[in-house]
Amino acid sequence: MIAQFAIVAFVGFFLTGAGHYFLYAKVFFPLFSEAETLLQVVFFVLWAVLFLGFGIIRILPASVRKYFEAFMFVWMGYALFLIFASVPVLAGAWILSFDVTETQTAAAIWGLGSVLSGVSFLLASKEEVFEVDLPLIRDQHRVEPGTTPAADAQGLRAVVLSDVHVTGLVGHRRLTRIVERVNALQPDLIFITGDLVDGSVKQLAGDVAALGGLKSRAGVYFVTGNHEYYSGAQSWKKHITDSLGWTVLENSSQSLELSGVRLSILGIEDRQSLVALNGRRRPDTRLDDAVATVSPEGLSSDRLNVLLAHQPKDARRLVEQPQVDLQISGHTHSGQIWPFSWFVMRDQGFLRGLYDIGVNQKLYVTQGTTYWGPPFRLGTSCEISLLRIQPVPKM
């Protein structure tokens, strides 16, 4: 564990240091060379904020944290876009053999980076509703096979929220807006597939309270994401159960009948739950444990079986449970800022949208409801998913 931390710290030190030196030398010094000493001090502070900031925000009181966090993450995103902008500017000047000064090059990088940042900030500031039709309800799933209750004519409406990442940047005001948009969709079910918070209960309970206004016919179901395990997972699960009244699925399940359909909702904790304090992974029995809570004999085909799992790559285990009809996941953010989507795809094998996994098995991956870290999105959207689970058309 100590060795892993040392490696991460070294890589972070190198990347943040190299990035800040590049921006200082190529963008800011050519534009503000007359204030060299001040500029060096400013860039040292900016580097220190990024390198040390993730530890600092964990101990700051909520009233101070949100301002520090806003400064840190806005600068992180803006610096990233300036680096992105430098690639076409420097490459274009070299390929086309433009005779430009360092000041002109710096101004071009600053201008393009600022435009990209502005557009990406706007994209991250609003949510979009993505509606998906899923013909999954089969005759054997019905309480009374061969019938189609009037209430079931339109199927079941499930809203999915994921990767809300409640922080100083995503607080009570935005959460209230999300609640209003979700409730307006009149869902039968609400699924929240992890990474709800980035901070302790003490820091964020006041903001998270806004999510207590979420309403559906059959309640709200929650599974942990990896970020819960950086924020005190046990404390958050207790708070979510006691204060918000949600059903927390901890490698467990909930069976119910809704609109004439027999339904089992299974939920597994994030893969991070398998990591012990010594850094070693425990055997992964999460899905088996959840299935056992439905029935010791395993899942039955006479129920619509829905699995909530934060990371989509857990779908690789669906081959072991062919009776799971649908897995719903988040985690990827669809990369959040292009071109990080390529790295996410390499890690997870899935990015966003609907996938066929096995025979009559589906995976839906949401892009996430807000964002992690920098309040920017490029090539992706903040997504509220509306899954319309409908009867399978008769042949």
Could you report the per-residue pLDDT of 134-183, keeping only the tens digit for each?
999 888 888 876 555 544 456 899 999 999 999 888 989 999 999 999 99
Report yes or no: 269 and 251 within 8 Å, Cβ to Cβ: yes
- In angstroms, the CA 208 to CA 224 distance is 15
pLDDT exceeds cutoff 60 at 277: no
- The predicted-structure confidence for 213-234, as pLDDT tens digits, reads as follows 999 999 999 999 999 998 899 9
Sheet holding 304-308, edge to edge: 252-258, 261-267, 304-308, 326-329, 361-365, 353-358
Q: What is the pLDDT of residue 154?
A: 61
pLDDT over 90 (residue 297): no
pLDDT in tens, 321-365: 889 999 999 999 999 998 899 999 999 999 999 999 978 899 999
Please list the residue range(s) of the chain that carry CATH number 3.60.21.10. Answer: 127-391
CA distance 301 to 120: 45
What pairing do the DSSP bridges indicate for beta strands 304-308 and 261-267?
A: parallel
CA distance 139 to 142: 6
Give domain 127-391's CATH architecture: 4-Layer Sandwich (3.60)
pLDDT at 312: 96
Strand partners for 157:
388
- Could you tell me which residue, 66 or 214, shows the higher pLDDT? 214
pLDDT, one tens digit per residue, over 249-269 is 999 999 999 888 999 999 999
Residue 203 burial by CB count (10 A; 0-12/13-18/19+): exposed, middle or buried?
buried
CA atoms within 13 A on the CB side of 128: 12
Residue 134 β-bridge partners: 389
Residue 178 pLDDT: 97
Q: Which of 90-94, 129-133, 240-244, 387-391 has the lowest mean pLDDT?
A: 90-94
Nearest Cα neighbor of 197 from 159, 158, 238, 226 is 226
pLDDT above 90 covers a percentage of the chain that reads: 65
- The pLDDT of residue 148 is 54
Q: Check residue 214 and give its pLDDT.
A: 97
Residue 3 is predicted with a pLDDT of 64
Q: Give SS3 for 293.
A: helix
Q: What is the DSSP letter of 392?
A: P
Two tokens at 164?
């809300």
| Higher pLDDT among residues 300 and 186, named by residue | 186
What local confidence, expressed as pLDDT, does residue 99 receive? 78
Tell me the average pLDDT of the chain: 90
User: What is the pLDDT at residue 151?
Assistant: 46
